[in-house]
Structure 1
Amino acid sequence: MNIYVGNLSYRMTESELREAFAPFGEVKRAKIVKDRETNRSKGFGFVEIDDDVAANKAIEALNNKEVGGRVLRVNESRPKE
């Protein structure tokens, strides 16, 4: 399952994002979206966990939780419309 993670601290690294989700299951990929011109974080990213049960537990546990001084918004990623 691909998970959207919003309201990330601009200083958070991809390895820190991976560490936040690791207790819930094997993280296949953790990606923070960055501005193409400045290479600075846009404040959101995606985490991929193959096990849907583990992914749902991570969403429940981390949604509205403070990480790095910011309250995260975490939900299942939906395709762009």
Structure 2
Amino acid sequence: MAPPNVDNMFTLKVDNVPFQIGSDELRDLFSKFGEIGDVYIPRARGSNESRGFAFVRFIEKRDAEDAIDGMEGQERLIILVSLFPTNSTDA
């Protein structure tokens, strides 16, 4: 299966992700705000353990904004915002 095209998705970087959480759990947690295009959890080389952060990509900008507002102060996750298409060329 080919990876999703993330070029026009809106990305949230989520820090403080528990090492035992998987992409399905993150997808469930954030999907209440809108359609998720991709969830990516970087893994350490060799051990394949989570590195403690993830990227949640939304199809719509408004859904990403709603997730930021809705997750504020919840779940002890730290959400850093990148509210522009992943490969935007706009300045």
- Which category describes the TM-score, using the shorter chain as reference length? 0.7 to 0.9
Residue 73 of structure 2 is aligned to residue 64 of structure 1: yes
Contact 1:24 1:54 in 2 (8 A): yes
- Structure with bigger strand share is 1
Query: Which residue matches 1:29?
Result: 38
* Amino acid in the other structure paired with 2:19: Y
**Stretches of structure 1 lacking an aligned partner (at least 5 in a row):** none
Residue 8 of structure 2 is aligned to residue 3 of structure 1: no
Residues of 2 paired with 1:63 and 1:12: CA distance?
19
Contact 1:63 1:75 in 2 (8 A): no
Runs of 4+ deviating beyond 3 Å: none
Aligned residues: 75
**Stretches of structure 2 lacking an aligned partner (at least 5 in a row):** 1-9, 87-91
The structure with more radius of gyration: 2
Query: Which residue matches 1:39?
Result: 48
Identity %, equivalent residues: 31
Residue 78 of structure 2 is aligned to residue 73 of structure 1: yes
